[in-house]
């Protein structure tokens, strides 16, 4: 097999793994949430709690990813995540019991961590070892494609199938996607050498840099999770006659699919942190737009702005983190994502409670927007710290 064909197969495995473990196992819940509320008597607050429990599972997976360095173990857990994604998707169709649903959402969260952290780390490690660009834009396109895929499937099936039958259908599709996600990603080499024999050299950041980086990513987690979880319910609530929520979510996914590649190109031109600050600012606008304008056009514009930046932020941050520790990229990615995961546990439950008390998701969106403004400021501050540390390094006596 030529190296170019192998690279295509590896990247395709990564894209499909994210469609399965992030798109289906995690994000299918978003377009199906209104249907489950209508047909399975799932309450608004319970819907928020299921989202938070899903992120608890994700957070557990993040902690596991951050604690292991052995590449072979990461590979085994990645493959276990594929199996768990299928089981947790099927499990949603087998009951209407809130506690069983909670367990399924928890395991779906574990699976999504395997896809977004272990899978990403394995692919970045493979790219670095084989002297390809250490960029994950193509890989993370799978997240946007997963959202668009689930939204499309749900929109097509809803007129004919109920919520339970749709979970069954998604389970069957998951089995089919598992095959290339499993077969086309080669097992890693547990060594610190590249294919050419050169050593993989880590570049640990300063404590100040790391603290700001983690805090900024926490803010991004709050901003992301509220819109990502509730966007379908928000749009349907604002325009109940149009019932456009699932279509808006599909537009979000379609905007996200090419965005990672675009943000890789932007980062090459203006630098990682400048690109990240720009992504934060656009992301903020996408989140708060429905607060000020409840029309359909604003909903679609919000979806494009949000979709075009949320996975770009994740891709930029995790690529930057992985480059700092190329010998064990998933470990550093996991440490960064701990803060992101904490936000995803707390924010949906708070938003669900606010929506139940106030009758709308407006307060939750305002909270998300405020966190994103703070996050943008932290990224700009991070740029100053980076420049200062670079200057200090240059003037050190040899």
- Angstrom distance (rounded) from CA 371 to CA 218: 9
- Angstrom distance (rounded) from CA 266 to CA 275: 6
What does the pLDDT read at residue 332? 76
What does the pLDDT read at residue 88? 97
Residue 119 has phi, psi (to 5 degrees) of -60, -45
**231 burial type by CB count under 10 A (0-12 exposed, 13-18 middle, 19+ buried):** buried
Q: Number of folded domains in the chain?
A: 1
What does the pLDDT read at residue 256? 85
Measured in whole angstroms, the distance separating CA 145 from the mean position of its chain's CA atoms is 12
**Encoded tokens for 240:** 């109940």
How far, CA to CA in Å, does 96 sit from each of 56, 155, 166, 250? Answer: 21, 22, 14, 26
- Angstrom distance (rounded) from CA 170 to CA 157: 11
Q: Sign of dihedral through CA atoms 175, 176, 182, 183?
A: positive
- Angstrom distance (rounded) from CA 244 to CA 300: 10
- CB-based contacts of 337, cutoff 8 Å, min separation 6: 62, 65, 66, 113, 116, 117, 217, 318
Q: Sign of dihedral through CA atoms 178, 180, 186, 188?
A: negative
In a domain, 132, yes or no: yes
In a domain, 317, yes or no: yes
In a domain, 194, yes or no: no
In a domain, 195, yes or no: no
How far, CA to CA in Å, does 286 sit from each of 11, 250, 299? Answer: 29, 15, 9
- Angstrom distance (rounded) from CA 281 to CA 251: 20
9 within 8 A of 186, measured Cβ to Cβ:
no
- Angstrom distance (rounded) from CA 163 to CA 358: 27
In a domain, 364, yes or no: yes
What is the pTM assigned to this prediction? Answer: 0.76
Domain of residue 272 covers 3-185+200-393
17 within 8 A of 139, measured Cβ to Cβ:
no
In a domain, 382, yes or no: yes
What does the pLDDT read at residue 292? 85
Kindly list the averaged pLDDT for each block of 10 residues, start to end, along the chain of length 398.
80 94 90 89 85 86 83 92 97 94 96 89 84 79 86 89 94 96 86 53 77 93 81 70 71 85 91 95 92 82 90 88 73 79 77 75 86 96 86 56
- Angstrom distance (rounded) from CA 361 to CA 368: 11
Give the single-character DSSP code of 278: H
CATH number of the domain bearing residue 21: 1.20.1250.20
Closest alpha carbon to 107 in 52, 163, 58, 171 = 58
Per DSSP (E only), the strands in 63-158 are: none
**62 burial type by CB count under 10 A (0-12 exposed, 13-18 middle, 19+ buried):** buried
In a domain, 192, yes or no: no
Residue 193 has phi, psi (to 5 degrees) of -120, 145
What does the pLDDT read at residue 80? 96
- CB-based contacts of 14, cutoff 8 Å, min separation 6: 119, 120, 123, 138, 139, 142, 185
Q: What is the DSSP string of 301-316?
A: HHHHHHHHHHHHHHHH
Q: What is the DSSP string of 210-277?
A: HHHHHHHHHHHHHHHHHHHHHHHHHHHHHSTTT--HHHHHHHHHHHHHHHHHHHHHHHHHH-HHHHHH
Measured in whole angstroms, the distance separating CA 255 from the mean position of its chain's CA atoms is 14
What does the pLDDT read at residue 374? 96
Closest alpha carbon to 127 in 10, 267, 268 = 10
């Amino acid at each position: 097999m030529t190296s170019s064909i192998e690279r295509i197969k590896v990247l395709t495995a990564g894209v499909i793994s994210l469609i399965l473990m992030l798109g289906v196992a995690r994000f299918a819940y978003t377009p199906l949430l209104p249907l489950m509320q209508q047909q399975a008597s799932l309450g608004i607050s319970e819907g928020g709690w299921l989202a938070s429990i899903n992120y608890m599972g994700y957070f557990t997976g993040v902690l596991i990813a951050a604690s292991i360095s052995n590449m072979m173990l990461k590979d085994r857990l990645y493959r276990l995540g594929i199996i768990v994604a299928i089981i947790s998707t099927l499990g949603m169709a087998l009951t209407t019991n809130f506690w069983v649903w909670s367990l399924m959402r928890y395991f779906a969260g574990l699976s999504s961590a395997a896809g977004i952290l272990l899978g990403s780390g394995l692919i970045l490690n493979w790219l670095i070892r084989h002297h390809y660009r250490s960029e994950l834009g193509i890989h993370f396109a799978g997240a946007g494609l997963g959202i668009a895929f689930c939204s499309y499937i749900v929109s097509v099936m809803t007129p004919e199938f109920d919520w339970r039958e749709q979970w069954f259908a998604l389970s069957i599709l998951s089995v089919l996607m598992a095959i290339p996600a499993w077969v086309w990603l080669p097992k890693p080499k547990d060594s610190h050498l590249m294919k050419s024999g050169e050593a993989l050299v880590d570049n640990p950041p300063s404590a100040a840099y790391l603290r700001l980086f983690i805090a900024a990513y926490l803010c991004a987690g709050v901003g992301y999770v509220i819109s990502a979880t509730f966007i379908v319910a928000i749009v349907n609530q604002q325009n109940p006659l149009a019932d456009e929520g699932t279509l808006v979510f599909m537009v979000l996914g379609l905007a996200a699919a090419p965005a990672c590649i675009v943000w890789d190109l932007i980062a090459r031109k203006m630098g990682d942190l400048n690109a990240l600050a720009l992504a934060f600012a656009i992301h903020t606008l996408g989140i708060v737009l429905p607060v000020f304008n409840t029309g359909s056009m604003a909903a679609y514009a919000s979806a494009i702005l949000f979709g075009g930046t949320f996975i770009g932020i994740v891709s930029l941050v995790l690529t930057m983190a992985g480059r700092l520790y190329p010998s064990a990229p998933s470990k550093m990615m996991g440490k960064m994502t701990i803060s992101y995961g904490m936000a995803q546990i707390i924010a949906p439950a708070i938003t669900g409670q606010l929506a139940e008390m106030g009758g709308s998701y407006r307060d939750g969106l305002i909270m998300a927007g405020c966190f994103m403004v703070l996050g943008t400021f932290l990224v700009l501050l991070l740029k100053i710290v980076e420049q200062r540390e670079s200057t200090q390094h240059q003037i050190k006596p040899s």
